[in-house]
Amino acid sequence: MKKRIVKTLFKKFNTEPQFQEQSNTKDIERKKQDISSNYDQNIQTFKSMFSVPKNTDIKVREFTIRALNRRAFIIFISTMVDVQRIQESIVEPLLENELTTGKIRDIVSFPIESTATIIGEITEFITGGMTALFIDGDNQCHLFETTNIPGRSIEKSDNEVIVKGAKEAFNERVIDNIALLRKKIKNENLIVESQVISKRSRNDVFLVYQKDLANDELLQTIIDKLTSLDTDRILDLSILEQYLEERPWSLFPTILYTERPDRAASFIEEGHIVILMSNSPSCLILPATFWSLMHSPEDHYLRVPYGNFIRLLRLLAFIVAVFSSSFYIAITNYHVGMIPPDLLMAFAGTRERVPFPSIIEIFMMELAFELIREAGLRVPSPIGPTIGIVGALILGQAAVQANIISPIVIIVIALSGLSSFIISDLSMNFAVRITRLLLILSAGFLGVYGLTAFCMAILFYLVSIKSFGTPYFAPMTPHFFSSKDLIVRHLPIKERFRPGYLKPKDMVKQRKE
Amino acid sequence: MKKTGTVCNLLMFLFIVCLLTGCWDKEELEDKAYVIGLGIDHSNHKGQIKVTLLLANPEVGSMQGGGGSTEKPREIITFDANDFIAAKGTANAIISRNISYELLKIIVVSEEYAKGSGFLTTVSDVQKDKEIRLDGHLAVSKENASEFFLKNRPKMETRPHKYFQYMINHGIENGLIPDSTLFRFFNTTYRETELYLAMYVSAEKNKHPKVQREDEYMAGQVNATGELDDTQFMGAAVFRNGVMIGKLNGQETRIVNILDDTTNIKDILIDLPDPFSNKKKQISARILKTKSNKVKMNVKSARLKIDITVPLKIEIMSNPSMVDFAEKKNQHIVKRQIINHLKKVNEKFFKKTQTKLKGVPYPLSMYARRYFGTIQEYKKFNWRKSYVNADIRVHPNIQIIDYGKQTKSLKR
């Protein structure tokens, strides 16, 4: 009852604003029609649609096909196509060929050709970099995939650096990205399914999965979710990530975002689904669990003992990053008896001259650390590292000498800050840093008790999150059949199963003889 | 509706969390004055005690280089109070910071006060205070506790907590003082079947100390000269039902520590009579105890019979009569000698506990319990009474693991 009132009130104050907009129903209507067989009408339609003289890089070239003795024109966007190839394999044969077979297919030597009739469809292809050929008296249009978009070449991975293993990273050209995946999985069952997700800028999304592994239900949910998106534009994969997530406000990420094709390929082979998008140098992996966010590809590239060593180190770093500053607050403010006498005396001796309560001290230092970190990112690269080190050192040293901060706090913050860098996933990294601040608050409020209570609440929450139907801590809790690649990993020979929470069509990687 | 429900539940949860806590007593750690030692003495005023607090100054010795202060490392105050809990408040008239017992290492009671009846009620307040940890130690001083703290001026450890930590830990490892934690005190006092040993300390040297064998001293009797602190930790004060009834010297305390499996002794250096000379020469040896005792009792017979097997490993460290231990015969002689000596010493000690102290100073009664089906039967058996008349035999089970470095004897 109360809620209904609140809801109606909310609606009253939050009405959709009305704007004066221009209607484009005429355009939409026109796009649904077929092209006519009349040459002049067609050229008129497309010229007005692409506002030709005004729009400088739309090129229309009229000519006569010698073989058929009919008028024709091609239309393309010169900045997105390979003009040289159009010249060599489309225009020249059409102009010069004298055979009268009557079939365009036999005249044009361009390898990829298709036909279309609906105006809207044709415009889409043209904007995608294709070349359209209209012939007088023909009621269909020929399309050639002449796309050639300039972009970065394949480079080293910048944000997920590893020492051992493949170094190449995704770039902004989705064709390259797909090629990088195909290169790793040479199997005809690897499906690259494309879908247009936004209405105005018509951004392409590619779903990549293994047909004989990925669960159909999971695939269908993702496809449904993608088709249900009702928006003008989604420019980047990282924005799509926010559209796809079940809980966009959640502190913890539920989709894995990576720029490493080797990582994506290994997930595809487990039965995950990967989303690629043009103009995004990365991919999304769904569903993602806590473990996949914590792991690094290097864990598997290194030999088992070394791989497990860095895994345990990362887990330790995770715990240190989350708890060290809040634990310091809790024990120094409430549970002094827990500290060994020598250390306690040292703490008390150095804290004596500091005017602020220790929680303020910690917050000041956390803020300073985050500032240095963020500033270090934004500073132009040649002076970046120096600024970072100088800032940290001088700030720390001077703050201690000015009796604003006690040296212990600097150790605590430096330790937790350093540890947080070990978690390579950017979203997880943010999650850890923000959780840390909340934990400091709760520890300052209620000591170790508050710390534990809040930590429990976080655990409750984490256990309840799902990523496309997969519980966050699967396969540990709830338990699923898997090759137990969680806190420690096993020998590659022993990792015989695909993760059970994905319900893959093929569960066993290698059967026992 | 479901959402409001969850929100309500969350709020309730938060509210309950706040109610449950005892954490509202947040206090910055530099606001406190840490009491390291607590002294309890007899007061001239009726119903009161004289409380001495030894407070550590955190600023001294905690900084590595630079910023060292000229302040004194400790502060000692003595005043009359009803009990040492309320004394925290009174002390604030003198001490600038909040008094805290969280680092309390040692409670020193004067021998005079420990022998009185008021001691048990006074010290029981320890259990009422949340800050005092029961792994602090209890000590009895020959002089007044206030004098003990004043006269105790360690030369090497400026910081008092470090001094007491080292003194107590190493004393227990060497077996010269008992591991007299407060926990043990309350445990034995409530069990009422055995005696409690508190470490015996003194900061006053005897005027004319007798020269005795290596470990047969009490605190204050060791005749050491030089540039040193006069404080000595040695021997034990014996408590029965929370009242001090006697003393044990260093050697007897060692015997108890070796017999008691609940004390963690490390290795003990002792002197044994040399079987190869008649001039009262001594062999020094190191005793290691790695296994627990085996205790057998006969509770059915008219007189309680106790057989204790003590497994010991011994390293011989010196060889005053220059015997060749490579010979099996000599090895045999020395082993026999050690067994006889230990047996004699131990049984003599048990005799003393039966006649003079009328109780056993370590939890031996625990071994008796297993012979009874119910607690009622055990209570009826009356351990205390039976122990006094018991027939106790000690069987040292010796393994000599090292005969020391063998050197050729010098011919004179």
Look at residue A464 and give its three-state secondary structure: helix
Contact state of A337 with B103 under an 8 Å Cβ cutoff: yes
User: What distance in Å separates residue A448's CA from the closest CA in chain B?
Assistant: 9
Which residue type is seen at B210?
K
pLDDT at A65: 84
Of B22-31, B103-112, B222-231, the least confident: B22-31
Q: Which residue in A has a C-alpha nearest to residue B33's C-alpha?
A: A348
Q: Report whether B200 contacts B217 (CB < 8 A).
A: no
| Partner residue opposite B58 with nearest CB, options A333, A349, A457 | A349
Of B177-186, B273-282, B297-306, the least confident: B273-282
| Partner residue opposite B62 with nearest CB, options A334, A349, A450 | A349
Q: Report whether A271 contacts A185 (CB < 8 A).
A: no
Contact state of B162 with A342 under an 8 Å Cβ cutoff: yes
Contact state of B58 with A344 under an 8 Å Cβ cutoff: yes
Sort out which chain B residues have CB atoms less than 8 A from A460's CB and list them: none
Which residue type is seen at B136?
G
| Partner residue opposite A3 with nearest CB, options B1, B23, B133 | B1
Q: Report whether A454 contacts A438 (CB < 8 A).
A: yes
What is the mean predicted confidence (pLDDT) over A145-152?
83
Q: Which stretches of B208-274 are DSSP H helices?
A: 250-259
Contact state of A337 with B133 under an 8 Å Cβ cutoff: yes
pLDDT tens readout for residues A346-357: 888 888 888 888
Distances (CA, A) of A468 to A196, A207, A257, A260, A293: 21, 15, 15, 22, 15
| Partner residue opposite A345 with nearest CB, options B3, B17, B58 | B58
Q: What is the DSSP letter of B15?
A: H
Which residues on adjacent β-strands are paired with residue B272?
Answer: B283
Look at residue A22 and give its three-state secondary structure: coil
Parallel, antiparallel or unpaired: strands B106-110 and B137-141: parallel
Contact state of B32 with A336 under an 8 Å Cβ cutoff: yes
pLDDT at A281: 92
Sort out which chain B residues have CB atoms less than 8 A from A346's CB and list them: 58, 62-63
pLDDT tens readout for residues A187-224: 999 999 998 888 777 788 999 999 999 999 999 999 99
| Partner residue opposite B30 with nearest CB, options A352, A450, A453 | A352
Name A62's Cβ contacts closer than 8 Å, sequence gap at least 6. Answer: A43, A71, A72, A73
Check the CA dihedral A391-A394-A398-A399 and report its sign: positive
| Partner residue opposite A358 with nearest CB, options B28, B34, B60 | B28
Element (H, E) at A77: strand A70-77
Check the CA dihedral B190-B191-B192-B196 and report its sign: negative
Residue with tokens 């047996």: B343
pLDDT at B49 over 70: yes
The interaxial angle of helices B250-259 and B328-352, nearest 10 deg, is 100
CATH for the stretch B266-412: 3.30.300.210
Q: Report whether B196 contacts B183 (CB < 8 A).
A: no
Which residues on adjacent β-strands are paired with residue A132?
Answer: A75, A143
Residue among A205, A221, A307, A215 nearest A270 (CA): A215
pLDDT at A77 over 60: yes
Residue among B161, B204, B165, B187 nearest B239 (CA): B187
B227 Cβ under 8 Å from any chain A Cβ: no
- The 3-state secondary structure of B115-163, one letter per residue: CCCHHHHHHCHHHHCCCCCCCCEEEEECCCHHHHHHHCCCCCCCCHHHH
Q: Which residue in A has a C-alpha nearest to residue B97's C-alpha?
A: A352
pLDDT tens readout for residues A404-460: 888 889 899 989 988 998 888 899 999 999 999 999 999 988 889 889 999 999 999
| Partner residue opposite B62 with nearest CB, options A339, A346, A453 | A346
Where residue B237 falls among pLDDT bands split at 50, 70, 90? very high
Interface of B with A in 100-129 (CB under 8 A): 100, 102-103, 105
Sort out which chain A residues have CB atoms less than 8 A from B60's CB and list them: 349
Sort out which chain A residues have CB atoms less than 8 A from B63's CB and list them: 346, 349-350
The interaxial angle of helices A341-351 and B160-174, nearest 10 deg, is 180
Where residue B276 falls among pLDDT bands split at 50, 70, 90? confident
Contact state of B58 with A450 under an 8 Å Cβ cutoff: no
A89 Cβ under 8 Å from any chain B Cβ: no
Distance between CA A366 and CA A422 in Å, rounded?
17
pLDDT tens readout for residues A483-494: 888 889 999 888
Distance between CA A135 and CA B191 in Å, rounded?
110
Look at residue A427 and give its three-state secondary structure: helix
| Partner residue opposite B63 with nearest CB, options A334, A350, A457 | A350
Residue among B167, B184, B171, B354 nearest B265 (CA): B171
pLDDT at B184: 93
Contact state of B29 with A2 under an 8 Å Cβ cutoff: no
Distance between CA B382 and CA A350 in Å, rounded?
57
pLDDT at A274 over 90: yes
Distance between CA A269 and CA A282 in Å, rounded?
18
Distance between CA B168 and CA B322 in Å, rounded?
37
Percentage of chain A modeled with pLDDT above 90: 36
Residue A477 exposure: Cα atoms within 13 Å on the Cβ side = 7
pLDDT at A141: 87
* Best to test chain B binding among A344, A445, A454 (most B CBs inside 10 Å): A344
Contact state of B26 with A447 under an 8 Å Cβ cutoff: yes
User: What distance in Å separates residue A351's CA from the closest CA in chain B?
Assistant: 6
Distance between CA A191 and CA A196 in Å, rounded?
16
* First-to-final CA distance of chain B: 105
Sort out which chain A residues have CB atoms less than 8 A from B32's CB and list them: 336, 348
Q: How many CB pairs under 8 A join A and B?
A: 92
ipTM of the complex: 0.77
The rounded Cα A444 to chain-centroid distance in angstroms is 36
pLDDT at A20 over 60: yes
Interface of A with B in 351-390 (CB under 8 A): 351-352, 354, 357-358
Sort out which chain A residues have CB atoms less than 8 A from B1's CB and list them: 3
Look at residue B412 and give its three-state secondary structure: coil
B59 Cβ under 8 Å from any chain A Cβ: yes
User: What distance in Å separates residue A290's CA from the closest CA in chain B?
Assistant: 25
- The 3-state secondary structure of A208-251, one letter per residue: EEECCCCCHHHHHHHHHHHHCCCCCCCCCHHHHHHHHCCCCCCC
Sort out which chain A residues have CB atoms less than 8 A from B105's CB and list them: 341
Parallel, antiparallel or unpaired: strands A283-286 and A256-258: antiparallel
Distance between CA A374 and CA A367 in Å, rounded?
10
Contact state of B28 with A333 under an 8 Å Cβ cutoff: yes
In chain B, ranges of CATH 3.30.300.210 domains:
266-412
Residue with tokens 């905690």: B62
Sort out which chain B residues have CB atoms less than 8 A from A342's CB and list them: 62, 161-162
Contact state of B23 with A450 under an 8 Å Cβ cutoff: yes
pLDDT at A295 over 70: yes
- Concatenating the DSSP letter of every residue in A159-223 gives SS--SSS--B---S-HHHHHHHHHHH---TTEEEEEEE--SSS--EEEEEEETTTS-HHHHHHHH
Distance between CA B322 and CA A354 in Å, rounded?
66
Percentage of chain B modeled with pLDDT above 70: 93
Residue A265 exposure: Cα atoms within 13 Å on the Cβ side = 18
Q: Report whether B29 contacts A344 (CB < 8 A).
A: yes
Q: Report whether A54 contacts A142 (CB < 8 A).
A: no
pLDDT at A272: 94
User: What distance in Å separates residue B129's CA from the closest CA in chain A?
Assistant: 13
Distance between CA A331 and CA A468 in Å, rounded?
40
Sort out which chain A residues have CB atoms less than 8 A from B165's CB and list them: 341
Residue with tokens 């991919």: A283
Contact state of A450 with B21 under an 8 Å Cβ cutoff: yes
pLDDT tens readout for residues A97-126: 777 666 777 778 777 778 888 888 888 888
Q: Report whether B193 contacts B375 (CB < 8 A).
A: no
Contact state of A352 with B58 under an 8 Å Cβ cutoff: yes
Of A408-412, B19-23, B387-391, the least confident: B19-23
pLDDT tens readout for residues B191-204: 888 899 999 999 98
Residue with tokens 């990925």: A214
Residue A263 exposure: Cα atoms within 13 Å on the Cβ side = 29
Distance between CA B327 and CA B177 in Å, rounded?
38
Residue among A128, A77, A129, A135 nearest A105 (CA): A135
B56 Cβ under 8 Å from any chain A Cβ: yes
Interface of A with B in 426-485 (CB under 8 A): 444, 446-447, 449-450, 453, 457
A3 Cβ under 8 Å from any chain B Cβ: yes
Sort out which chain A residues have CB atoms less than 8 A from B98's CB and list them: none
* Best to test chain B binding among A328, A339, A352 (most B CBs inside 10 Å): A352
Q: What is the DSSP letter of B355?
A: I
Sort out which chain B residues have CB atoms less than 8 A from A357's CB and list them: 28
Residue among A294, A316, A257 nearest A489 (CA): A294
pLDDT at A382: 76
Contact state of A333 with B27 under an 8 Å Cβ cutoff: yes
What is the mean predicted confidence (pLDDT) over B82-110?
89
